[in-house]
Amino acid sequence: MELTPQAVKPVIDVQNLTKDYYIGEIVVRALRGIDMQIFPGEMVAIMGPSGSGKSTLMNMIGCLDSPTSGDYYLDSLRVSDLHDDELAIVRNQKIGFVFQKYNLLPRIDAIENVALPLRYSEDTSNMRQRAEAALESVGLGDRMRHKPNELSGGQQQRVAIARALVNQPAILLADEPTGNLDSQSGKEVMELLIKLNQQQNTTIVLVTHDPTVALHAQRTIQLFDGLIKAPEAIA
Partner 1 sequence: MKFWQALKEAIASIAGNKTRSFLTVLGIVIGVGAVIGVLSIGQGAEASIMGQIESIGTNVIYVFRGNRTEDVTNPKYLTTADADALANRARAPHILNIASVLSGQSSVRFGDESAQTSIMGVTGNYAEVIDLKLSEGSFFTESHITNRSSVVVLGPELAERLTGRQTELVGTTVHINNYPFRVVGVAAAKGGNQFSSPDMDAYIPITAMQLRVKRQNVPNAVDFLLIQAQDSNSIDEAMHEGRTLLRASHRLTSRQPDDFTMTNQEDMLSIANSITNILTIFLAGIAAISLLVGGIGIMNIMLVSVTERTREIGLRKALGARKFDIQLQFLTESAMLSVFGGLIGIGLGWLLGEIVGAVAANSGTPLVPEISLNSVLLATLFSLAVGIFFGWYPALRAANLEPVEALRYE
CA distances from 196 to 65, 137, 192, 203 (A): 27, 9, 6, 9
Residues 171 and 12: their CA atoms lie apart, in Å, by 9
Determine the Cα angle at 88 with ends 132 and 219, to 5°.
75
* By CB under 8 A, residue 119 contacts partner 1: yes
Judged by CB, which is closer to partner 1: 64, or 227?
64
| Encoded amino acid at 51, one letter | G
> Number of residues in contact with partner 1, rule: CB under 8 A?
25
Judged by CB, which is closer to partner 1: 108, or 133?
108
Q: What is the number of helices (H) and of strands (E) in the chain?
A: 7, 10
Contacts of 32 (CB under 8 A, 6+ apart): 18, 53, 225, 226, 227
| 3-state DSSP assignment of residue 12 | strand
Interface residue with partner 1, options 121, 133, 194, 232 (CB under 8 A): 121
Interface residue with partner 1, options 59, 202, 208, 222 (CB under 8 A): 59
Stretch of residues binding partner 1 (CB under 8 A), selected from 113-121, 138-146, 201-209, 215-223: 113-121
Interface residue with partner 1, options 52, 93, 155, 178 (CB under 8 A): 93
* By CB under 8 A, residue 84 contacts partner 1: yes
* By CB under 8 A, residue 64 contacts partner 1: yes
Residues at the contact surface with partner 1, assessed by CB under 8 A: 59, 62, 64-65, 84-85, 88-89, 91-93, 97, 99, 103, 105, 107-108, 116-117, 119-121, 124, 163, 167
